[in-house]
Amino acid sequence: LKEKHSRLKTKMRSVYNSKIWRATAPLRWIQEKYHPTLLPRDTELRDDTNQITTEIDVPADTNITSSPHKILLVSYYCPTRAHAGGLRILDLYAFIRSNYPSVQIDIFTHHRPSIDWKINDIYDVFDNVYLSPNEDLTPQGLESLMGGSQFYNIIDLQFHQCGFNIDSFRKIGSKVIYTPMESLAKSFYFDVQGKSPIKNLFLLSNTARALRLAAEELVFLPKVDEVVCVSRADAAFLKAITSCQNIRGLDTGVSNFEFADALSSEYIASPAAERPLSILYIAYFGSETNVNALSWYLGKVHPQIKEAVPNYKFTIVGRGDLSSFSEQKDDSIDMVGEVDTLVPYIQNSRVCIAPALGGAGLRGKINQYAVMGVPTVVSPISHRGLAYKDGENIFVAETPTDFADRCIQLLEDTELNDKMGLSARLLCLKRYTWKSKLKLISKIYNLEDLDE
């Protein structure tokens, strides 16, 4: 692990001297001017248990010791089952609620019906629900909804947009946590890494926006007591390119809301031979990363598999506009789109895929496939930061031909399919359930001294 960290740190430092100066020079300038402490130093990456402390003024009339432990979640997107980030938060707080019932958990968020769908779950999880009439989630807006003010042990700011209000929320919380969800700095770096400056000139507006978001994220990091990334890979990246030691990774667990049956030790996946010759791709197709991945698969991988296994079917599931792929649709492609539950689609697939070509965050879909005992073929980027081992419980393939060959192998070799699927499920249950993260969660939210 230390060797991997060392290699990553060396690689990240190279961005500061990269020939891609159009992208990196402005980022260096912003850091040097506003946050020189963010520049890489010759220090070893520290253990995840390290965190910074910040002195704050606690209101004189606040008696924290005698009051219940209070957590305030401030989430730019409402936690619901409709999107991956929202489901992660919903699962996390439902887990805290079940293990620490004495804790007061409040939420301040904004509901977007077109994005969030139904929000009834949050009323079961949170003690007090404060719905802002607008997207600007400020302490002043919260106070107007409360009809007063409260002081919290933990303020948990979720999503990039909440980072702009870190300073103001610090006034009403002992410890401020920030979760950027997908690290925009990491995503920007890897997107730019493989492109020439000349090519980037044609995408100047997109590059400038991505640079701005990445710089904003880096400015947010030293302002909080703890940065909690959705994957250890994102955390390692941010540590490697900054001197911040208040960063840790909390990998997203498999959802208890969506996969309760599969999380049971009694669950047994159906044999591969009994499942259709189907390959499944689940993603949110409002994301450019996922659209590009689907385009790559349909254009370069799908034809090769179809030629080798003529009766195979490719199923695409997830919200978002798929109309741009309508010309590529034929009898072998089933564009399902948005669904209420993913379980039956995974159960009826022999192979699942995660062919991402860019982006950051954690590919939670891989754990969803794995917990149901279905083996997955992934790109190197999708595999980054996960514990699955190539050839043992996952296949990692970079080129279109290798990707197609691995898919064909799992479609046709049912014995291998069953073996890898079971191995993936066992590892998922060990590493990627919320239960497996109880100790880390209790540390992040200062719950260690409370009775479970």
Per-residue pLDDT of 301-321, as tens digits, reads 999 999 999 999 999 999 888
Separation of alpha carbons 143 and 256, rounded Å: 33
Ramachandran angles phi, psi of 343, nearest 5°? -50, -55
End-to-end Cα, the chain, rounded Å: 32
Q: Structure pTM?
A: 0.78
- For the segment 240-251, what is each residue's pLDDT rounded down to a tens digit? 999 898 999 999
Strand order in the sheet with 70-75: 128-131, 104-109, 70-75, 152-158, 173-179, 226-229, 247-249
Q: Cα–Cα–Cα angle for 42, 5, 178, nearest 5°? A: 85
Q: What's the distance, CA 37 to chain centroid?
A: 26
Report yes or no: 339 and 345 within 8 Å, Cβ to Cβ. yes
Comparing 49-63, 340-354, 410-424, the range with the smallest average pLDDT is 49-63
Report yes or no: 433 and 255 within 8 Å, Cβ to Cβ. no
pLDDT confidence bin for 205, thresholds 50/70/90:
low
Task: Provide the H-helix boundaries in 257-413.
Answer: 288-296, 302-308, 343-347, 364-371, 380-383, 400-412
pLDDT higher than 60, residue 40: no
pLDDT confidence bin for 394, thresholds 50/70/90:
very high
The pLDDT assigned to 7 comes to 57
